Amino acid sequence: MKLPNALYIQSGGMTSVINNTAYTIIKTIQKYPEKIGKLYAGIYGIVGVLEDNLLDISTLSEIQIENIKNSPGGVFGTSRYKIKSINEDFAIYETLVHIFIKYNIHYIFYNGGNDSADTALKLSKITQEFDYKLYCIAVPKTIDNDIACTDVSPGFGSSAKYIATSMYEASIDLKSMCKTSTKVFIMEIMGRHAGWLTAASAVWKNNDSDPPHICLLPEIPFNQEQFLKLVTNSVNKYGYCSIAVSEGLRDETHKFISHQNTNDSFGHTQLGGVASILASIIQINLGYKCHYAIPDYLQRAAKHLCSKLDIEIANAVGKAAVEFAIQHKNNVMPCIKKIQTNPYLYEIECISLDNIANVEKKMPLNFIDKENLTITSECKEYILPFVSGEVFPKYSENGKPIFISFT
């Protein structure tokens, strides 16, 4: 009998460490030659599967495979493509099953965030609806840290480390020149509904004088009066003010402070521009010279500064996913269960996607200091392990990082 094959799919927005998970899945499968035959990757994720565009991993050289874990983005390509339920779009499932039969695929590793967990949940129904054995494992990944049932999402720690480091560096620069030049620096940080990454910018803040002085989170409606008061206070007391703002900041009527008029394919409003709006508010009302940074993709692609624990966790979920598949689990995700904070200890739990798909993990209210627009010590204690320890990629002689891509 031919051994069942496996399919790996990258999905949604990328993280700095998703390819570490991909690498671990490849290497773990290699340890079970009696259980799993070939591993295929969907080129551009599920879209590649639908187009019969699969890459046979066994055709890659050992050097190519080693370079996967060194690369940002998604080496096999990803997609933002929402599939409907079997009841709504039977045809797409027929196409998928046709491909699965063609390639003898019985294991799926669906590496993504909330929306992807929903897709994986839908795919997991194939086993019941069709006469076809399929073990579908969702593998967590998102910089937003908003996946339910897991203490942390792989990808968050490295983006958090990049954001915290960049905020600290830019603030030290600002501090050195605030006497005669710019007084306010604003950094616009990714996060539509959950302020995890914006919160991370303050993870090393020990005193009121340390930057950032203000964190504007999507969880707390923007109040201009309070904001301007805190900016003034910071400039008066410390000579400057550093501000971290989440792209998803909303006003008291729940409307985004800034949004572009375009939507992505999931119906999410595409955000951008809140930093420039805040800079205008400050310049008009207080007259301070402002600068703002929008790291955008840089914060989720910064392979040049990854977190050690984040990479460890990205590897751990990859390994667990293969083990779950071999145990013939379906409709599950390996999640992180914290055992101890300092030093951080965890174990992997197997959680049903019914509990995860389409649930968004928000920041606990005791993590937020609403009055001073900053984060609490509980929040810092939670985030700290994920920004500790550095992992750098390999560089070639001319300084170019050694990256690989199969798209």
Ranges within 180-209 binding its own copies (CB under 8 A)? 180-181, 185, 204
Considering Cα of 152, then 154, then 159, then 164, what sign does the dihedral take? positive
Site for its own copies contains 270 (CB under 8 A)? yes
Q: For residues 251 and 296, which CB has a smaller minimum distance to its own copies in the complex? A: 296
Site for its own copies contains 399 (CB under 8 A)? yes
Ranges within 119-158 binding its own copies (CB under 8 A)? none
Q: Side chain identity at 382, as an amino acid letter?
A: Y
Ranges within 326-385 binding its own copies (CB under 8 A)? 384
- In the list 304, 338, 362, 370, the residue contacting its own copies (rule: CB under 8 A) is 304
* Count of other CB atoms within 10 angstroms of residue 237: 12
Q: How far apart are CA 307 and CA 17, in angstroms?
A: 9
Q: Is 144 one of the catalytic residues?
A: yes
Q: For residues 80 and 362, which CB has a smaller minimum distance to its own copies in the complex? A: 80
Site for its own copies contains 71 (CB under 8 A)? yes
Site for its own copies contains 288 (CB under 8 A)? no
| Region label for 73, one of left (φ > 0), alpha (ψ between -120 and 50) or beta (otherwise) | left
Site for its own copies contains 267 (CB under 8 A)? no
User: Which tokens is 85 given?
Assistant: 């339920």
CB of 340 to its own copies, least distance (A): 16
- In the list 58, 85, 176, 377, the residue contacting its own copies (rule: CB under 8 A) is 176
Q: Please give the span between the terminal C-alpha atoms of the chain, in angstroms, as a whole number.
A: 33
Question: Is 356 buried (19+), middle (13-18) or exposed (0-12) by CB count in 10 A?
Answer: buried
Site for its own copies contains 403 (CB under 8 A)? yes
Q: Helix 156-177 crosses helix 377-387 at what angle (to 10 degrees)? A: 110
CB of 235 to its own copies, least distance (A): 14
Q: For residues 61 and 262, which CB has a smaller minimum distance to its own copies in the complex? A: 262
Site for its own copies contains 165 (CB under 8 A)? yes
β-bridge partners, 189 = 246
Element (H, E) at 28: helix 18-29
> Looking at 56, 89, 118, 144, which residue is catalytic?
144
Enzyme catalytic residues? 144
